[in-house]
Amino acid sequence: MYGDGNVSTHRYHSQMDGAGIITLPNGGYVYVSNSELEGGDGGVYGLYFDMDGQVEEYKPLLTGTSNNCGGGLSPWNTWISCEEMEGWGQCWQVRKCVDASAKNIDPDPSSAYHSTPTMTLIGGSGGAFESVAIDNTDPDRPIFFLTEDHEAGALRRFVADGSGWDSLHAGGTTSYLYFIDDQTFEWTSSIDDGRRSANWYYPNSEGISYFEGFLYFVSKEMQTLYTLDLAQMTYQREVTGGSHLLGRGSFNAQPDQIFIGVSKRNLYFTEDGGSSPGLFARDEDGSYYTVFQGIEGVYDEDETVGIAFTQDRMRLYAGLQDAGVLLELTRDDGMPFE
């Protein structure tokens, strides 16, 4: 139901997953959310809010795709949605869908790209793609990092030839993460070497986030967080939730999506499986704490998904996939999330 009492003609999508928030010119925002349904029934949907946080509209933004799992927000205010389909999945930059072959929509109707369908290059020949992080330090040559949920899913690095919207369509160079040893890494042009490294060190990689020269990603299979220093070409790893503060809940199932907080103060994690899947945060000192957890016996083996913050950080959105529950969280003290 909308804030004015009207009701959408569309039912809220099933199997919601990765999500992001795009701020609109009128001061409102759209919560852009994937649907992980199979058989061409997945896609991306937009839940539109006004500047006061009241729902104004809900509509499909991308249709005809499958297993839309993770993705990532771009610095130019678009959503990249990834299909988790081994051998077939692709990544789409979200804009207007005008026919069956035009799978992309720009959620912002004022954008110059609102009705121009395109396909991105970062997915290559297809795969079980998960999430995207972007280093836009050099806006003329943005760098995309893409994870793949497969036991040999090599983490991809795409250095674009173009900029902004066109960076995903104008060409570029792809390389793959290769761990040399337990401390150092390199980028290799060999996908086979990348797959071997993934199989050995980081199988089934999921969420990924970039912040000021550091790349963070998780392997759900290893239940491990990897922190890559991109300048020094070194890395560290730790078991997720291993330093959970006593009395603050439990984070012991598979890490999934991750999201970096303001100034790297907090790194947020969703969780797949377990008796009470939740949303967790890791502070600067490496200690984990619980934001919320599902009730044990009610949300068993569910999955927390769709973490996203409004631009002012006053509202946090996240959901439980199988239950079909979307939550809006605010702080009791009226302060923004960090």
pLDDT tens per residue across span 94-104 = 863 323 333 34
Three-state DSSP class for 214? strand
What is the distance between the alpha carbons of residues 243 and 284, in angstroms, rounded to a whole number?
12
pTM, two decimal places = 0.92
DSSP 8-state class, residue 276: S
pLDDT at 98 (0 to 100)? 29
Three-state DSSP class for 196? helix
What is the distance between the alpha carbons of residues 208 and 258, in angstroms, rounded to a whole number?
6
Q: Which of 181, 184, 131, 186 is nearest to 153 (CA)?
A: 131
Per residue, the 3-state secondary structure of 160-192, as one string, reads: ECCCHHHHHCCCEEEEEEEECCCCEEEEECCHH
Name the strand (E) or helix (H) holding 31.
strand 29-35
Three-state DSSP class for 132? strand
What is the distance between the alpha carbons of residues 259 and 211, in angstroms, rounded to a whole number?
10
What is the distance between the alpha carbons of residues 13 and 32, in angstroms, rounded to a whole number?
12
8 Å CB contact between 152 and 195: yes
pLDDT per residue, tens digit, the chain (338 aa), is 788 888 888 899 999 999 999 999 889 999 999 999 999 999 999 999 999 999 999 988 888 899 999 999 999 888 999 999 998 899 998 863 323 333 344 555 555 554 443 668 998 778 999 999 999 999 999 999 999 999 999 999 999 999 998 899 889 999 999 999 999 999 999 999 999 999 999 999 999 999 999 999 999 999 999 999 999 999 999 999 877 765 567 888 999 999 998 767 899 999 999 999 999 999 888 889 899 999 999 999 999 999 999 999 999 999 999 999 999 999 999 999 98
Q: Could you list the beta-strand ranges (E) of 230-331.
A: 234-239, 254-260, 266-272, 278-283, 288-293, 304-309, 316-320, 325-329
Q: Which of 229, 216, 199 is nearest to 255 (CA)?
A: 216
Structure tokens at 238: 């730790």
